[in-house]
Structure 1
């Protein structure tokens, strides 16, 4: 069984994330979505809220693709998380050249820690390349329309967080 790990903070999960998840399901038999606890980033949504959003947004993808999708919170090194879940491949999404520089460094460090775990990069769909969760939160905080960047369910959760919920 090929197991892949797609890590991120998912604060919140965006259409860019789900695009990468959907395409990653064709590469592996089980895709583990690693939801990073990452206290340093000070997430808007709690870990439980982020895990629930990812599970909800991925259930239909799993059904359509036939790939098992598992959501796994983690706070340790990415490479240790990959070992913990039995992943042989780490899936990373790239939006722009700026992403590549950081990811290039991460791959080098991860390979030094465990050369048996490969990293695969998937380019975000052209319509999704500008989407960044940080910017989505900023737009939502200022009362803007985030419907082009997240699902209606996530948009509603963002609105509620910023006191604009129904």
Structure 2
């Protein structure tokens, strides 16, 4: 898998309408789920109580928090595209995000991306990116939607 490197607004604009790539698969572990529960104070049993989830949950085991899977977006995005020559990057918007399917513990996920649009806001690139978090060996993705980043290029 090759990492796409973009160094300017003009370079970014060249990829409008194109799939940018797919990240490596990333494993979702119970330890990671538990640590996310600690960080967010979301200790709902479907995430943290493996025994109860095995017997009472419709999923048959624990599942990752939806927001845990969403929080992986920057890490997985960084495996697809490296934006260089930046003063700053800002997370701007999440649009039409839908959690389609629960991510079971010990599943593997990967991010698929497509650059929908780039707008020049007086030298700041507003990039709208279609994101889909795929679950290995599953037809339905964990989530899909559009995220917008603002890229403040140095030049």
Q: What's the TM-score, normalizing by structure 2?
A: 0.24
The answer to which structure has the higher strand fraction is: 2
**Structure with the greater alpha carbon radius of gyration:** 2
The answer to which structure has the higher helix fraction is: 1
